Amino acid sequence: MKDFKTLFSLIIVISYYFEYGEGQRILSIKDFIIDTNHTIIDYSQAFQEAWKGLCEDETPNGSALVIRKNETYTLQPSTFRGPCVSSNIHIQINGKLEGPRKPIYWKNKENRSWLGFKDVEGLVINGSGVLNPHGEAWWKSVSLSKRPTTISFASCMDIVYNGLHHINSPRNHISIYGCTNATLSNLDISAPEDSPNTDGINICLSHRIQILDSSIQTGDDCVAITGGRGGSSDINITGVACGPGHGISIGSLGKDNERDDIVENVNVRSCSFTGTQNGARIKTWNGGRGLAKNILYENITLIDAGYPIIINQHYFDNKKKHYFDKSFLKESGVKVDNITFRYFEGTSSSEIPIKLDCDETENCHNITMEHINITSPTPGKNLTAYCKFADVSSSFVNIDVDCNTNEDHQPHMLSPLP
């Protein structure tokens, strides 16, 4: 019996260190709740006090804040700021965090995100818990510009975000802005297919970002990568199951005549698109400036994907300007160069699954297609490609991609701006 108790204690200790990290001080939100009558419906202040304890920890191993499985907390929009004394901060969410159920109950509406982390280094957020800001109440009642992101990381470094479930964001679920070295993995992100602008993960002005082994089902891009004035680079996306949604997109780039809107060195591998509006997409605005270069989409599985391969250098908001108003179609200044689509396999719901709508002045350069096998779910139905002003090299592609035979020089609007 003594040996059994010793073994049991050893298992508990090993489990403790594996889950929270050896030597970390464990904090609970309950330690920071002042109200002993348990009438609090907003725990924002308790979370700010807990963050202060994490951020100011001077011990080598830092502290861990643990939200346990049976715990549910409602928070108002909150920003957790650095720089911190500690560069080893751990937040484990196994319970549920919720936002107020209606926009009228939200405070700090000027916040661009519900939960924001800024200027933080060495942050780990993981667990099996749920983040639910009740975004469905925002979709029809509040304009896009005033809707918050669920969680944002701004000017952060060395971030790990793992295992969490996101439900119904008011806008995009996760925003990575101005960050370096971030790994997001094993996430489950979901919102209805018709929910507006509910991107899964938006990346801007960031470098060395990894997105791994996640399921993303939304009403907009599963992942969208934009450059900003400092560019985004070295982005790796592997093992993402996308759908429904608008695909994994580079861009849009060059909006509002943005200068130096650059995205380069992006690898998208071993991903799937199921019932998506698009698949592998690059989209640039007319009149902008920038670059999309060294982009690879490889080992892609398609299940009734709308437009599996798209490059669109004439992207704009057709809700504001009629598409055939030629005065609006300025010369594109965003360069598209060295783009590879390799090992695509599956079905497309579109009759034209490959669309390369490039600019007559700028063109698309060094486009490579290899081992592409896209078929219709309808047996015997032939599929075609549309290609204009693109320099394409193709091999083992079951759809003829001929950029010299399309006589229609009018650019095609491939999909409306979400």
Residue 207 has pLDDT above 90, yes or no: yes
Considering the domain boundaries, does residue 418 fall inside one? Answer: no
CB atoms within 10 A of CB 116: 20
Considering the domain boundaries, does residue 353 fall inside one? Answer: yes
pLDDT tens-digit readout, 68-78: 999 999 999 99
Strand, coil or helix: what is 407?
Answer: coil
Residue whose C-alpha is closest to residue 312's, from 271, 283, 290? 283
Q: What is the mean pLDDT of the chain?
A: 88
Considering the domain boundaries, does residue 53 fall inside one? Answer: yes
**pLDDT of res. 6:** 40
Quick one: pLDDT band at residue 18, thresholds 50, 70, 90? very low
Residue 15 has pLDDT above 80, yes or no: no
Considering the domain boundaries, does residue 95 fall inside one? Answer: yes
pTM: 0.90
pLDDT tens-digit readout, 384-412: 999 999 999 999 999 999 987 554 444 44
- Which residues face 374 on adjacent strands? 346
- The DSSP line for 344-374 is EEEEESSS--EEEE--TTT-EEEEEEEEEEE
Please state the rounded mean pLDDT for residues 209-221: 99
pLDDT tens-digit readout, 109-159: 778 999 999 999 999 999 999 999 999 999 988 888 889 999 999 999 999
CATH at residue 102: 2.160.20.10
Host domain of residue 202: 20-397
Considering the domain boundaries, does residue 11 fall inside one? Answer: no
Considering the domain boundaries, does residue 403 fall inside one? Answer: no
**pLDDT of res. 333:** 78
**What whole-number distance in Å separates Cα of residue 150 and Cα of residue 112?**
9
pLDDT tens-digit readout, 286-298: 878 899 999 999 9
CA atoms within 13 A on the CB side of 290: 32
Exactly one of 90, 246, 322, 365 is catalytic; name it: 246
pLDDT tens-digit readout, 52-88: 999 999 999 999 999 999 999 999 999 999 999 999 9
Considering the domain boundaries, does residue 410 fall inside one? Answer: no
Domain count, the chain: 1
Considering the domain boundaries, does residue 417 fall inside one? Answer: no
Give yes or no: 246 in active site.
yes
CA distances from 57 to 24, 67, 160, 213, 327 (A): 10, 19, 19, 32, 59
**What whole-number distance in Å separates Cα of residue 317 and Cα of residue 288?**
14
**What whole-number distance in Å separates Cα of residue 45 and Cα of residue 40?**
10
